[in-house]
Chains A and B, each alone.
Chain A
């Protein structure tokens, strides 16, 4: 199998990417109905985030109307207490959620994954050190600590991302390590080594293809975790006050005195709530379907 070509010295080959595109098309056909709807939902939110300036007439942080206008023709979803348009806050808020969610997930998922593979491959003290760190990180009460750390670091988007990465790389690292350990001693890896395969070659050819799908599922779940955590922090008043995220909208709406005794909550509190629940549920269903498609054991049982 390995003798037909000598890919050892070849630069990164692109056919492996094409392979992935074909596979993702195939995977989509295996999705359940909920999964397909969820994927469309996430794409929709992506589009809203991308075309926010086109979709909304006003800027989210400019006063364009009178205070607390109900939904109407000039302001689609009404205005908040300062007279800012709620629909444009929703559009621009999608950007915040997606940027934070995806960047945390990519850094934590890929970085944690890389550390895990390294630890699993090298073994010894590196492995020990990493695993003890992961143990401690996973035993810490993450949300209370998250609150304190972000209060201490100050409320900027970059800080929120850093703190969330700090708390979410442990799981991908642990999963990647155990996978590497499980794959490492297989006879085909030993064979590849005996044929002169360098560690980089073995990593790219044998370990990464096994690992990427698992990491991808984890990345989706971290995205969702990060979005929820950012919302939670913002909801407590620890978000970036200059940004208009969905969590900040919830924070401003719920801290408005006696909002529940008026009808303001109907257009001020419900839109960000619906948007968040929709996004989180969509990500969850995609993650679930992907897991079922990628894990052959689950597929056989018809999704137990």
Chain B
């Protein structure tokens, strides 16, 4: 619970980051095929030859793929330290540019979904903890658990079929209306929100139940504590007891979970973005894998991993702020 604890935390993050860097580097290089022989074919064994052998050798040399593997690795680490993730072979742009182009969309849906599921989860968790003896609570719990167990991309397909295909309330694909001319800023914000709505709902529904159950269960545990009885006996009113004494203590595990959740969502977003053809980082990762775009895959994996680790560090910080017992 002190500096030592903190050191092990950072030490673990460094190790994890190194492992990811190593996997990042070696794995794509062991994939079958190379980026110059499979450019427009998904079928294995069917190489579409669009360049001569000389040209191929030239490009392999140009991208430094003829160097010994360990030299490539050190070069990679050095470039990584400079923030240079290499060149995307498919998009013909620096990897950093490609990622920056798509990352905002993923951040938009992941952060909105996190905020939404956390806030709604805490609210219904509190309501449910206060009514826990009633039948309505049991009904709500069973329903929410069912929602949580449906994998997010299947839920996404269901929502897409109902709201976009059947009722035509939301767009089928994309993040903005193509070739749209916005008359005002409000118009543009509305268009983006309209496209992002279903992906955000899908991601938050998948996480909502976790927050809900955690809030509910910790609140129930906390409400049996002595200090709650003291607070009630003081006569400060039920509402104050719940918000200032019970909820504040019950929120600690919820905060820890939120950081963990962002990581999970980044992973889930890959599939959800595919369902809604949402042009975030997940859809880009998919096209990178299909096109064997090594540098882009590495860059995306690294960004996702670093994002998850950063979230954990931030959560650690917030936790220390919230819980005066954990001091440095």
Binding site for B on A (CB under 8 A): 34, 132, 135-136, 139-145, 147-149, 151-152, 154, 224, 228, 231-232, 235-238, 250, 254, 260, 265, 269-270, 273, 276-277, 280-281, 284-285, 288, 304
Contacts and interface: CB of A to CB of B under 8 A. Distances in A.
A140 B157 contact: no
Given A235-B271, A260-B172, A281-B149, A147 B154 contact: no
Given A148-B28, A152-B27, A236-B271, A231 B289 contact: no
B32 A145 contact: no
Contacts of A151: 31, 289
A224 B149 CA distance: 9
B290 interface: yes
B28 A152 contact: yes
Contact of B267 (A141, A148, A260): A141
Contact of B297 (A132, A148, A260): A148
Given A140-B19, A143-B270, A254-B275, A265 B151 contact: no
Interface residues of B, number: 50
Contacts of B304: 141, 144
Given A141-B267, A237-B42, A280 B149 contact: yes
A259 to B, nearest CB: 9
B266 to A, nearest CB: 7
Given A141-B267, A250-B157, A273-B158, A152 B309 contact: no
B28 A143 contact: no
Contacts of B153: 232, 235
B174 interface: no
A284 B145 contact: yes
A149 B263 CA distance: 19
A232 B145 CA distance: 21
B248 interface: no
A147 B283 CA distance: 12
A147 B164 contact: no
Interface centre among B12, B149, B158 (most CB of A within 10 A): B149
Nearest to B267: A143
Given A236-B286, A260-B165, A141 B308 contact: yes
Given A144-B285, A288-B145, A231 B300 contact: no
Interface in B283-319: 285-286, 289-290, 297, 300-301, 304-305, 308-309
B16 A139 contact: yes
Given A135-B16, A281-B149, 4 more contacts: A144-B266, A145-B23, A273-B157, A281-B150
Contacts of B146: 281, 284
Given A136-B16, A136-B19, A269 B161 contact: yes
B37 interface: no
B150 A141 contact: no
8 contacts: A152-B32, A154-B32, A231-B151, A236-B274, A236-B289, A260-B172, A269-B161, A281-B150
B289 A147 contact: yes
Given A151-B31, A284-B145, A140 B289 contact: no
Contact of A265 (B142, B161, B267): B161
B151 A139 contact: no
